[in-house]
Structure 1
Amino acid sequence: MKVSIMSVPIETKSAEAVEAFDAFSRAFEAFKETNDERLAALERKGHADPLTEEKLARIDAGLDETRARIDALALGRARPPLGGVDQGAVRDHDPLMHEHKTAFESYIRSGESGGLKQLETKALSAGSGPDGGYLAPPQVESEVLRRLSALSPIRAIAGNRVISGGLYKVAHSVSGPASGWVSETAARPETDSPTLAELSFPAMELYAMPAATQTLLDDAIVDIDQWIADEVETAFAEQEGAAFVNGDGNAKPRGFLDYTAVADGSWSWGNLGFIGTGVADAFPASDPSDVLVDLIYALKAGYRQNATFVMNRKTQSAIRKFKDQQGNYLWQPPAGMGRNATLMNFPVIEAEDMPDIGAGTTPIAFGDFRRGYLVVDRAGIRILRDPYSAKPYVLFYTTKRVGGGVQDFAAIKLMKCAA
């Protein structure tokens, strides 16, 4: 029986997670207390004590570090070993899947590709294909995609489609369905033709190239499926995260910030509407939370029900200090392990590729991303074994195809630093 090289006792993980969550809660209470001192000094003297500002910054940095630790622990707890009992039971009832896994492991460990060639010939596909390499077993692909959903912030909240080709097309009604009310015996007048927009989402190639020693590959106790998923998950997630936010659509997905942003009062299909902060390079000094309220209600009610705030760590640090008219903090820590922080009762997703607060930037996005942004995955992850380019290491050129873009321009609104 294989043992995951990443295995850690669940009890230890649970205790560590509880301890980290308690530390986070205590740190946020200290943050509120220190920020209240800062605000009181501002009211009395017109300026804050530098020591208080320094203390607040240290606590804020500690909050971010502790939250990152909690997220890592939550991800580790949700990561089952690929060679576990449940998957073994599934494979026993699927001889073809078991055969594929056995042939794939032989290829990874020793370079023997005969078994995979026979399998792909049976499936009426070329052995190497235009991308090179061989298809990984379905359980490896599903595990990589599951981990990406946990690591890649936009993928976790966006819509998703799996396709077999290289391009996904969808028709979207720009004007909404044409309809009307009539009585039981009245004539049915002809309705206007709906205005449709065809959107195309090509799947671009994303690659990672983990390396292993032959000693590692020869070690029978190492779970090869688990090792591959561990090695490629971070590389894929980082590249995806950047592309889904800022990608220009050239050999990569198109990020939602790459689309034209217009003032929400002038919004039209094909653009994203934005709400200005009222200040060229920051939030207003007085009642900064008002612009967040404007942003929330710029979104139609149907989208607002499942809306999420998206911002980076620095922006979230600034937002943490905002209060409402009753003196309550608008940002609230997660209610439990595996939960998101909230801002005005809406979840907050931290995406480090979002821009910082600054002149003309759009540091906050708000919307129903499951309806507004679409991630397209082409089925199949290919792996090409290369024992020659970096001897004595064996490289594994791993590729997947993924695309993305805005599919509903009314579902996402932006906050822009603008007067």
Structure 2
Amino acid sequence: MKIKDLIEKRAKVWEAAKNFVDTHEDENGVLSAEDSAVYAGMEKEIEDLTAAIDRQQRAEQREAELNRPVNSPLTGKPYMAPEGKEKTGRSSDEYRKAMLNALRSNFRQVSNVLQEGVDADGGYLVPDEYDRRLIDVLEEENIMRRLATRITTSGEHKINIAAAKPAAAWIEEGGALTFGDAKFEQKILDAHKLHVAVKVTEELLYDNAFNLENYIIVQFGKALANAEEDAFLNGNGTGKPTGIFDGTGGGHLLTTLTAALKSDDMLDLVYGLKRPYRKNASFIMNDATLPSLRKLKDNNGAYIWQPAYQAGEPDRILGYKVETSAYAPKDGIAFGDYSYYNIGDRGSRSFKQLNELFAGNGMIGFVAKERVDGKLVLPEAVQIMKLKAD
């Protein structure tokens, strides 16, 4: 079944479920045991359809990535590039081809063009084309890289923040002026090292039919993205970025619930955020939190959860987008404008080959490294609501 058909079917089941509850609740809003079982079946069907939609969307994304041609066909006559615009260094086509040949030959065919990428440890900087495609994978897998503000840094990066602003005041004619102070603070983006390593058999490495380039980029990208997202959400700033759910450097803690979550609590969370930040705000929560939210109604009996009716569109709660992550804490919900979370990438990512470590097993090791930091520069831009512990 196509994604469009699945989405339409889910919408119909959801409408039927809402109508079923509205027509079978007693005066106290309670369903009988038999009706509860019927509603649970409808809800299970919605969850299954949602899982099927997500699965097909991921399959389409993988299919598009795998079908992307490695080489572009020649569609015009050869021409001479204008002077001054020829790609050089790590951006050159020669560097990219030499990098791939070096990987396939266990770095036994290192040419002069590859010497531009040699570092003190014998690692090789990723060509510019590789680095951009790795960023593509990180964006697809990591919700925070899509929502946050990204900065490329060459050293310790300082972000200036207006902590206090002068205020206007009324005075009588001839009265004395009052002077306010403008105070400033700084947030510092440093660089924490993150790496991922894989082993590849020599047979696969030397087999031209094996898409080595795509394999390494996709696997490294997913592993880095998962580790990054965990840190951007939960990191404590010690050896890793500071996450938005961190109790010290994260978002502002609005409230800690002592009872089960209610629709009024979600309203408090939305309107607890200052109006300027609500324009681009969205929710971040764990997938396990959604089932309880989907059952909540407002004072008019309407469900506050609104499923997406178009492919690619996120579900919404109270009109705001919902982002889910397996790394978000199960006892917390964030709501805010995550563009105030700054991600600092320190230079380019790098590849490194391990010649001897797995030589006895007939395998070659590869390591990808990056240096990155992340901080919420304005804690008031994100509000956190802690849920009651089970």
**2:244·2:251 contact (CA, 8 Å) conserved in 1?**
no
The alignment partner of 2:348 has SS state of strand
Distance 1:352 1:212, change over 3 A: same
Distance 1:27 1:400, change over 3 A: farther
Please state how far the C-alpha of 1:376 moved relative to its aligned partner.
Answer: 1.3
Residue in structure 2 matched with residue 134 of structure 1 by the alignment: 124
Please state how far the C-alpha of 1:275 moved relative to its aligned partner.
Answer: 3.0
**2:236·2:242 contact (CA, 8 Å) conserved in 1?**
yes
Please state how far the C-alpha of 1:367 moved relative to its aligned partner.
Answer: 0.1
In 2, Cα distance between the equivalents of 1:344 and 1:205? 39
Does 1:219 find its partner at 2:199? no
Q: How does 1:365-404 map to 2 (within 5 A)?
A: 365-371=334-340, 373-390=341-358, 391-404=361-374
Please state how far the C-alpha of 1:408 moved relative to its aligned partner.
Answer: 0.8
Given candidates 40, 45, 68, the residue that maps to 1:81 is 68
Distance 1:393 1:32, change over 3 A: farther
Residue in structure 2 matched with residue 3 of structure 1 by the alignment: none
**1:17·1:73 contact (CA, 8 Å) conserved in 2?**
no
- Whichever residue aligns with residue 102 of structure 1, its letter is K
Residue in structure 2 matched with residue 118 of structure 1 by the alignment: 115
In 2, Cα distance between the equivalents of 1:29 and 1:238? 35
Distance 1:30 1:73, change over 3 A: farther
Please state how far the C-alpha of 1:300 moved relative to its aligned partner.
Answer: 1.2
TM-score after normalising by structure 1: 0.77
Distance 1:336 1:174, change over 3 A: same
Please state how far the C-alpha of 1:303 moved relative to its aligned partner.
Answer: 0.5
Please state how far the C-alpha of 1:225 moved relative to its aligned partner.
Answer: 3.0
Q: Which consecutive unaligned segments of at least 5 residues does structure 1 have?
A: 1-14, 121-126, 262-269
Residue in structure 2 matched with residue 273 of structure 1 by the alignment: 253
In 1, Cα distance between the equivalents of 2:47 and 2:309? 20
Please state how far the C-alpha of 1:350 moved relative to its aligned partner.
Answer: 0.4
Distance 1:203 1:29, change over 3 A: farther
In 2, Cα distance between the equivalents of 1:20 and 1:115? 55
The alignment partner of 2:204 has SS state of helix
Given candidates 141, 158, 168, the residue that maps to 1:151 is 141
Aligned length, in residue pairs: 371
**1:21·1:70 contact (CA, 8 Å) conserved in 2?**
no
Please state how far the C-alpha of 1:47 moved relative to its aligned partner.
Answer: 6.5
Residue in structure 1 matched with residue 158 of structure 2 by the alignment: 169
**2:141·2:222 contact (CA, 8 Å) conserved in 1?**
yes
Please state how far the C-alpha of 1:170 moved relative to its aligned partner.
Answer: 0.9
Q: How does 1:242-253 map to 2 (within 5 A)?
A: 242-253=230-241
Residue in structure 2 matched with residue 6 of structure 1 by the alignment: none
CA distances 1:345-365 after superposition (whole Å, capped 9, x unpaired): 111000122222xxxx3x210
Distance 1:214 1:319, change over 3 A: same
Q: Which consecutive unaligned segments of at least 5 residues does structure 2 have?
A: none
- Whichever residue aligns with residue 58 of structure 2, its letter is A
Counting aligned pairs with the same residue, the percent is 24
In 2, Cα distance between the equivalents of 1:256 and 1:307? 14
TM-score after normalising by structure 2: 0.82
